[in-house]
Structure 1
Amino acid sequence: MGSAMSSSEEFKFPKQIFVIFVAVILDRLAFSAFASKAFGFLKGFVEYQETTAGLIISAFTGLCYSFPILGAVVADCWFGKYVAIILFLLIYICGMLIMTLSVVAILGLSSEICYFIGFFLISAGSGTIKPCLITLGGDQFTLPQQKNQVNFFYYAYYFVANLGMGCGFLAASEIVIMNCYNNKYCYSASFGLAAILLTAFFIIFLVARRCLTIIKPETNIMVLWVKCVGHALKEKTKSTTKVDNWLDRSEERYGKKLVYHIKSNFKVLCVFLPLMIYGILDMNINTVWILQASLMNGELGNGNIVEPKKMLIANPVLILIWIPLICLVIYPVCARYNLITTPLQRIGCGGMFVGVAYFISGFISLAIESNVASLPSKGECHLRMFNPLTCSININAPPYVDNVEVVSMGYKFVNVPKVAGINIVDYKITGCEHVISNVSGHDFLLIEEKSISYFITTKGLNRYIDKIKKYSQDAPKIRTLVGNPEERPGSLTYKFQNQILNVQSDDFSLIQVHTGTYFLEKERELTFHRGDIYTVLLFIESGKIKEMRQYEITAQNKLHMFWQIPQYLFFTMGEAMLVPTALEFAYTQSPLSMKTLMTAAFFLIETFGSITVGTIRQIYPFKNQSNELFVFGGLTFLVMFGFMFCARRYKYFDDYQFEESETNTFK
């Protein structure tokens, strides 16, 4: 790999390849500017439920990875790569324009139908262009003389693609917070920017047509491919003649060259089949790892917070770091010791690093799960008892609660066993009788598999049902319990930066707040962390707070998001070794007539990965996130060991003897 950087080949590095690089950057900038805000647009602007918006985004992503096969068929069978890019780029631009105009309600385009049409056209345009653009870049080189330069091109392509993705993500994050057209979020600017970038891509490609090497398909290779395979299968059932390979039965009718090409295609597809495990893991990053980040602490101090989705920026940033290191350091050093020198060895090694990333992620999830809120199981009821008074009390509710003491301004957790269904019993409170007007009753409630909280005031016992999640990924929530609300009728004031939150003194509902430090009545300081539920106990005297206690009901997300960086480091290293090498492998190990189709086949593994992971979750839903991560990590190691074992027997495709007769180029 290192020799590619300072090649002394007879053929110079083609200057027109920079047109491809510019096109890739513009394409990825546009796509990430749209995709990074698509979910927020559906949820915040269109006002879909989170589940519905998630399903639409999943379908959109699946289409983006399915449409490459359509672009490949159009390119390899009919119009060629350049014309296919131009045609589908127009569809891509139309999709972005529809989304932009729909947001600002121009030309009456603001409707759900327009949104769906826009999403579909964008997925079609983005997906179909991708394999055509990559293989058009490969066509600018002369093989086998520029084999090392092709190797460098695919790594450089992946570098600029991630550069575009990262910049687009950051640009969209800044643009979408603007206010325009009376909309809360300026999605029109983000989508409009994407449309402008794609238009620039279109103009550059039209202008650069004369300098690009354009290879036109000679025939509809898919038709010949199907006929040849069909004939071989038909002859296999009829003929008793022994042949080395069942496809050899078609040599007489379709020629050795076509049969040889089809054999190479099947070999490439067989190599790509185990890589479906990478597709599963790659799709999981956008779901499982974001969920994991949402269960972690993203606070940076001074009120700044890292949102879970923003951790995804680590992926393109680390790719930009790894690719130069891999090309300039890791591969040359390994080559000295004859290690990971072939494409399949590099793919296998990359897959191993991806597996390591999932094991690291699994251990992170184990640490998170050890800190989750405790929920009552079958036959149990969890009771939380609060005493916002200045004297201790005892609560007796036989046969379930036996004189439980709750000290002044205190809190007591009780796990009550042997609770079946709904139970209502008598209760009596002792202590503080001189303060409490009602110390007994007949409505002490216990419910199986529920958490119930009780708190005492000067008027007697009160209760509410706790809504506690095992995993909390929300903003913090607070509940204010005042022991003597009659001493302070009206509202209490929580101040956060320049925002004021007013809470009635007798209101004990759960309220969502910002992460950070608040000042209660300008005199008491309280800090609330993401993912936690707090109960604040207050006792008032002469209209002012005399006593205050803050209790953490669910444990805050203590593990910081930056602990995800090691798993991103290993995943991106594996990705940087696997993906560019697999794309180069698809190009160099395929006949000239089907290079785009084989490149598209690699992108299809993302779709199959998405389908597979969904099926696995339906058949065997994982109880814990850590279990899922360990299962997929172990499966990755198993598959990659098998892949590397089989790769030792792979015979690399050599079609250069046919290239001269196949090529029909014009400038």
Structure 2
Amino acid sequence: MALHIALSMVGLLLIALGTGGIKPCVAAFGGDQFTDEQYIYENLISKVNIHSTGKAEKYILLYLLLSINAGSLLSTIITPILRGQQCGIHTQQQCYPLAFGVPAALMVVALIVFIIGSGMYNKTAPEGNILVKVCKCVGFAIKNRYKHRDSRYPKREHWMDWAEEKYDKLLIAQVKMVLKVLFLYIPLPMFWALFDQQGSRWTLQATTMNGNFGGFVVQPDQMQTFNPILILIMVPIMDSIVYPLIAKCNLNFSPLKRITVGMFLAALAFVAAALVQLQIDASLPTFPTSTQSQAKFINMMNTSLTGQAGEFPLDLKSYEATPEYFTFTESFNLQLEGASYAVSLTEGTRNTLVVIKDAISPRPIQFSDFAAKPEEGKNAIRFFNGYRNRLNITSDKAEYGDIVSNNMSEYRNISFGNTKFTILDEVNMQACVYEQTLAFGSSFTLVIPPTLTFGQMCEGIVQVTDITPNSVHMAWLIPQYFLITAGEVVFSVTGLEFSYSQAPSNMKSVLQAGWLLTVAVGNIIVLIVAEAATLPDQWAEYILFASLLVLVCIIFAVMAYFYTYIDPVKIEAQFSQPEDEKKRRSLEMVKRASIDYHNDKRRISDSSNTYQTKM
């Protein structure tokens, strides 16, 4: 187990390193593919109405988001299917190696394709580690400001101006632009704290719901497919219809206002999740608290039994179970037909006491039950063998093996749908089949009585419900997925555009990295809030996160109100070095000379054609 944990941590670390290397650079790399000299660049500019960038890089950001969500859609559909396959050397189990192996192989293919096409890309030569330069410049400014904190030194317009003694004004101006945007990022992690719970809290929420949509069945973790599906639909609609309509109405729907709206929509999504959770909680059985224990009773004798379990009277019919669990706060005394038994139950557990005939008097046998809904929306099934002989039980979805008389099998998790159990009497070599249609999230004890009749079908098996199936349908999750996706579209896409448009020419990847860093901080916030709140009800935790995001949304709106949009190109032009200006002018002269050359060539050609015509 320790090795598995260590390998899992290594895998997560490698994913983090790979993601950190790819995501901050991919948008900037895409933007580098367009140059001022390319006609396509100018052609795209005329087609794009972008409030924040006004440049063709907008398409790169949109295509990037659509590509990411197309991959996410395929992953959330295919990976659960691959995982659901049975594989293994010693024992058959869910095939996680296949679920991880296929994406890994596809990633290798993608890398090969990327390398093959490497020569077609427009590559900007690296100019050192700009992040290190930024950090050194900021560090020097702080150090120099602290060193000259005396009142005799004149104040400077900006605290970064204290770096002028060592760094040129262009770099300082660029750092100012970066810090100005990074300051706005401070409230943003709260959005990601809610958004990324789709893969955790919301998936767990789906495990307690019914995923049967009639023509198809949705597994709990496949509900995440609604996010990329809605992204692929909503992004083009927002970009080509909604935003242009808003612009025609002369509404100032600036990038920072869009981000604010996105945060508010995410908060509404969690309010919707809380309302759904209240409906789920109303449908769930009452599970024991940490100071309680529960028990139900199954009578395996061929006569009815009466008695007392603590303060609860018992009236058990033959081969039947009590319809509900009884809750106890301490050990209790069980009295059956004049016999008395001291029963001790572990706190926080559910238990089944099977009453069998021992010599003359009845005797209880204690077994532990599920004290929560089965994982992944599956169904926990077990058998109690009250038959006189050893039975071997198998099914098309699980193996139970041999079960001796008066003993209980282990629970086996079985997925939704019709399941056939084959029961074999190993002494008389008789077999029969028992069929059961399973929903989602249920738990059953199938009692095989001494009166079991072997034939084509197993007759006489008693189905005892430990946990009722999920009754709230997964379709009720769609509104919250719609709201969180709408929030992502106006928050994430706009945030990437804003970061790109407000970044200096050589620091676009720095701001992209800063934007992505808010995602990591958001995930840390989830851990802190969830551990600190310790709320007993999940719906209350959803409301807590929604309230925190609304508060942060208000703070961000105030910060955005005082933000002034900038044009990095104009600011950088003010601090351009003479050498850079010479290069720019030389390039313009070359362009003009080229244009004059082609114009002269065309005039000569036209004159020649005219002369030949006259001849």
**Following the alignment from structure 1 to structure 2, what is the Cα–Cα distance between the partners of residues 158 and 402?**
60
- Equivalent positions of 1:204-215 (< 5 A) are 204-205=117-118, 207-209=119-121, 211-212=122-123
Aligned to 2:73: 166
**Correspondence 1:385 to 2:292:** no
**Following the alignment from structure 1 to structure 2, what is the Cα–Cα distance between the partners of residues 175 and 468?**
27
Query: How far did 1:651 drift?
Result: 0.4
CA contact (8 A) 1:456 1:462 kept: yes
**Following the alignment from structure 2 to structure 1, what is the Cα–Cα distance between the partners of residues 521 and 398?**
50
Aligned to 2:248: 336
CA contact (8 A) 1:352 1:637 kept: yes
CA contact (8 A) 1:530 1:556 kept: yes
Q: CA 1:546–1:391 in structure 2 vs 1: closer, same or farther (change >3 Å)?
A: farther
Query: How far did 1:640 drift?
Result: 1.2
**Correspondence 1:530 to 2:530:** no
**Following the alignment from structure 2 to structure 1, what is the Cα–Cα distance between the partners of residues 254 and 334?**
77
Aligned to 1:590: 503
> Which is higher, the Rg of structure 1 or of structure 2?
2
Aligned to 1:470: 372
Aligned to 1:406: 316
CA contact (8 A) 2:178 2:511 kept: yes
**Following the alignment from structure 1 to structure 2, what is the Cα–Cα distance between the partners of residues 395 and 178?**
48
**Correspondence 1:457 to 2:356:** yes
CA contact (8 A) 1:139 1:214 kept: no
- Equivalent positions of 1:345-494 (< 5 A) are 345-377=257-289, 380-389=292-301, 391-396=303-308, 400-401=310-311, 403-412=313-322, 413=324, 415=326, 419-420=329-330, 422-423=331-332, 425=333, 427-429=335-337, 440-445=339-344, 449-459=348-358, 460-473=362-375, 475-481=378-384, 485-486=387-388, 489-491=389-391, 493=393
**Correspondence 1:278 to 2:186:** no
Aligned to 1:511: 411
| Matched residues, number | 539
Aligned to 1:308: 220
Aligned to 1:556: 469
CA contact (8 A) 1:381 1:446 kept: yes
Amino acid aligned to 2:355? I
Select between 573-582 and 541-550 the one with higher mean Cα deviation.
541-550
Aligned to 1:27: none
What is the TM-score with the length of structure 2 in the denominator?
0.76
Query: How far did 1:573 drift?
Result: 1.6
Gaps of 5+ in 1: 1-42, 60-115, 430-438
Amino acid aligned to 1:135? A
Residue 463 of structure 2 aligns to a residue whose secondary structure is strand
CA contact (8 A) 2:76 2:224 kept: no
**Following the alignment from structure 2 to structure 1, what is the Cα–Cα distance between the partners of residues 413 and 570?**
70
Q: How big is each residue's C-alpha offset from its partner over 1:22-81, in whole Å with a ceiling of 9 and x where there is no partner?
A: xxxxxxxxxxxxxxxxxxxxx9xx983xxx38xx76x6xxxxxxxxxxxxxxxxxxxxxx
Q: How big is each residue's C-alpha offset from its partner over 1:514-566, in whole Å with a ceiling of 9 and x where there is no partner?
A: 23334566565433333222123444438556644322211222223333222
Query: How far did 1:355 drift?
Result: 1.6
Identify which of 290, 309, 326 aligns with 2:203. 290
Q: CA 1:178–1:476 in structure 2 vs 1: closer, same or farther (change >3 Å)?
A: closer
**Following the alignment from structure 1 to structure 2, what is the Cα–Cα distance between the partners of residues 120 and 208?**
31
Aligned to 1:318: 230
Task: Give aligned-pair identity as a percent.
Answer: 24
**Following the alignment from structure 1 to structure 2, what is the Cα–Cα distance between the partners of residues 546 and 136?**
68
What is the TM-score with the length of structure 1 in the denominator?
0.71
Identify which of 52, 57, 82 aligns with 1:150. 57
Query: How far did 1:136 drift?
Result: 2.3
**Following the alignment from structure 1 to structure 2, what is the Cα–Cα distance between the partners of residues 608 and 383?**
44
**Correspondence 1:235 to 2:148:** yes
Q: CA 1:237–1:289 in structure 2 vs 1: closer, same or farther (change >3 Å)?
A: farther
Amino acid aligned to 1:532? S
CA contact (8 A) 2:187 2:552 kept: yes
Q: CA 1:174–1:462 in structure 2 vs 1: closer, same or farther (change >3 Å)?
A: closer
Gaps of 5+ in 2: 46-53, 424-431, 588-615
Amino acid aligned to 1:651? T
CA contact (8 A) 1:175 1:190 kept: no
Query: How far did 1:273 drift?
Result: 0.9
Query: How far did 1:415 drift?
Result: 3.1
Query: How far did 1:294 drift?
Result: 2.4
Select between 585-594 and 133-142 the one with higher mean Cα deviation.
133-142
**Following the alignment from structure 1 to structure 2, what is the Cα–Cα distance between the partners of residues 632 and 126?**
27
**Following the alignment from structure 1 to structure 2, what is the Cα–Cα distance between the partners of residues 388 and 356?**
52
CA contact (8 A) 1:454 1:461 kept: no
CA contact (8 A) 1:236 1:246 kept: no
Q: CA 1:542–1:174 in structure 2 vs 1: closer, same or farther (change >3 Å)?
A: closer
Identify which of 551, 556, 564 aligns with 1:638. 551
Query: How far did 1:358 drift?
Result: 1.7
CA contact (8 A) 1:451 1:466 kept: yes
Amino acid aligned to 2:68? A
Query: How far did 1:241 drift?
Result: 3.6
Residue 385 of structure 1 aligns to a residue whose secondary structure is strand
Aligned to 2:176: 263
Q: How big is each residue's C-alpha offset from its partner over 1:454-495, in whole Å with a ceiling of 9 and x where there is no partner?
A: 233344232214333234325322343455x23xx2326565
